[in-house]
Amino acid sequence: MLRSILPLGVALLGATSVLAVDPPSCSLDKKCPKEAPCCSQYNQCGVGAFCLGGCDPRMSFSLDSCMPAPVCKDKTYKMDSLDRYRDISEYLGDSSKVDWVGQGEPLLYNGNTLLTMPPKSVGTVLATTTYMWYGSVKAKIKTSRGAGVVTAFILFSDVKDEIDYEWVGVDLNTAQTNYYFQGITDYTQTGNLTVKDTYNTFHDYEIQWTPDEIKWLIDGKVGRVKKRADTWNATANQWNFPQTPSRVQISIWPGGLETNAKGTVDWAGGPIDWKGEEIQKYGYYFATFGEIKVECWKTDKAPGTSKGISYYYNDISALNNTVVDSNKGTILKSFLGTGTDVNKGDTTQSGSASSTSAVHAIPGGGVAPGGVVPGAGNNQNQGNNNNNGGSGGGSGGSGSTGNNNCGTSNFAQECNPGGGGDGAQGSTNGNTNNSARGADRTLGSSALAVIIGIAGLLLL
């Protein structure tokens, strides 16, 4: 799955918003500078959104540069509305108002959420605003299909612990599972589970995660178990087992992007065909997500508690005994803020984004033009979307500055000329009436693959 993280990561960086000066990079050996102290999920330094979900304290200027992460909440996400979804350029950390953040083009269709990937884009990724510190998550999913097209459902922590499901579009009868500890690339932990027709049939995919084991289930049946006891690393004197608070992430991304590494392209089933059947019929590749249910681990004593408001780390080792279940706040007052100065910048209402010219405040660069995108509904108008800026740009075509005259016919996008390039629907600065609310395109699954894929796309 790590091979998918990079494509996902890059997508979140925003493929159409390229900074004139790239943000500083960060790693375990090269931490962020004081003026841009937060290391994002995609290993770039900044302030604002860089300091929220995905901010890695190990690579940041200091452990407290990242904002604390909202604690686990039992919740059922119906996935029949995008009212509580925000692009990363519109979210300042208030999880009481927002359930999902991300980039790409999520759309509504028949009471479910579609994650879409128009031509030459990097797909769509959504992540929960709250974090699971053990527990279970179950998602009803119909995957994408096609060579090079990848669907993902993962748990991913700020220090890059990961537990995942991934599906490649050329094999609709296999669910791939894997796990990673702190981003260490190890593809030997993969386990394939047999499942029937993942594209046409909804299946329930579940991850049950405790301090002692991981279980992967399909339609209520256990398909794989991994014991923590089997992950001891004698050299490092630690368990190489996912153990830190993680967001639920769902995504579609182009594993077969021509700029990806050959190994990734081969794994994804070959080069992606931007003129494939799905593109011809609907205007995009897509994966369908129905109800997603999160149940937190129930314990009175750490690890795994969710008694407070937020989680933070008190040691760079970032193991489960360094996670603190605290009452620290999670909300920035503006995109100038950081974990050590949450009040920096102009203040609007708590938890709402305020426009800022800060450099490296939003991964991908600044507050992009509005991201309302037309999409496929079921011929019923869901209401007007009045976005006048603030949504991150799409990942595959240039945005438009006028109204997008787009509608839907059954399941296909229909737009008059003037939208995004290369077949993708661009951002709009005007009002758009469409039968599904859009956002922006990201891709993702394993964080590592994502970043590389997007970086390559930016060079196209």
| CATH for 235 | 2.60.120.200
Q: Quick check: 327 pLDDT over 60? A: yes
Separation of alpha carbons 85 and 35, rounded Å = 30
Instruction: Flag whether 105 is in a domain.
Output: yes
Q: Give how far Cα 275 sits from Cα of 222, 272, 279, 319, 424, Å.
A: 38, 9, 6, 45, 12
Q: Quick check: 262 pLDDT over 80? A: yes
> Cβ distance 369 to 431 under 8 Å?
no
- 299 Cβ contact partners less than 8 Å away, ≥ 6 residues apart: 134, 305
pLDDT for the residue 369: 24
Instruction: Flag whether 32 is in a domain.
Output: no
Separation of alpha carbons 358 and 15, rounded Å = 19
Instruction: Flag whether 310 is in a domain.
Output: no
Specify the higher pLDDT residue, 23 or 380: 23
* pLDDT tens digits, one per residue of 151-194: 999 999 999 999 999 999 999 999 999 999 999 988 889 999 99
Separation of alpha carbons 451 and 204, rounded Å = 28
* pLDDT tens digits, one per residue of 194-218: 999 999 999 999 999 999 999 999 9
pLDDT for the residue 348: 55
Average pLDDT over residues 387-415: 28
Average pLDDT over residues 327-338: 96
Domain count for the chain? 1
Instruction: Flag whether 21 is in a domain.
Output: no
pLDDT for the residue 373: 23
Q: For 272-276, 293-297, 303-307, 368-372, which range has the lowest pLDDT when averaged over its residues?
A: 368-372
Distance of CA 211 to the CA centre of its chain: 24
Separation of alpha carbons 105 and 130, rounded Å = 21
pLDDT for the residue 362: 75
Q: Quick check: 250 pLDDT over 90? A: yes
% pLDDT > 90, the chain:
68
Average pLDDT over residues 86-113: 96
Q: Give how far Cα 102 sits from Cα of 31, 83, 128, 191, 309, Å.
A: 25, 13, 9, 28, 22
For residue 409, report the phi and psi dihedrals to the nearest 5 degrees.
-135, 105
Separation of alpha carbons 125 and 59, rounded Å = 23
Average pLDDT over residues 394-401: 26
* pLDDT tens digits, one per residue of 50-83: 999 999 999 999 999 999 999 999 999 999 999 9
Instruction: Flag whether 261 is in a domain.
Output: yes
Average pLDDT over residues 286-291: 98
Specify the higher pLDDT residue, 147 or 452: 147
Separation of alpha carbons 411 and 377, rounded Å = 6
Separation of alpha carbons 14 and 438, rounded Å = 15
Whole-model pTM: value is 0.77
Instruction: Flag whether 217 is in a domain.
Output: yes
Q: Quick check: 318 pLDDT over 60? A: yes
Nearest to 131 by CA among 317, 325, 361: 325
Q: What's the chain's length in residues?
A: 460
Instruction: Flag whether 356 is in a domain.
Output: no
pLDDT for the residue 148: 98
Write out the two tokens for 387: 């976005």
What is the sign of the dihedral through the CA atoms of 331, 290, 267 and 274? Answer: negative
User: Is residue 188 classed exposed, middle or buried when 0-12, 13-18 and 19+ CB atoms within 10 A define those classes?
Assistant: exposed
Instruction: Flag whether 346 is in a domain.
Output: no
Write out the two tokens for 131: 């974090």
pLDDT for the residue 245: 98
Specify the higher pLDDT residue, 38 or 378: 38
pLDDT for the residue 187: 81
> Cβ distance 156 to 128 under 8 Å?
no
Residues tagged active-site: 162, 166
Q: Quick check: 26 pLDDT over 60? A: yes
- 385 Cβ contact partners less than 8 Å away, ≥ 6 residues apart: 372, 431, 432, 433, 434, 437, 438
Specify the higher pLDDT residue, 259 or 392: 259
Q: Could you tell me the residue range of the domain that residue 101 belongs to?
A: 70-299+442-453
Question: If pLDDT is split at 50, 70 and 90, which confidence band does 119 have?
Answer: very high
pLDDT for the residue 434: 30
Nearest to 56 by CA among 122, 123, 125, 5: 5
Question: If pLDDT is split at 50, 70 and 90, which confidence band does 407 have?
Answer: very low
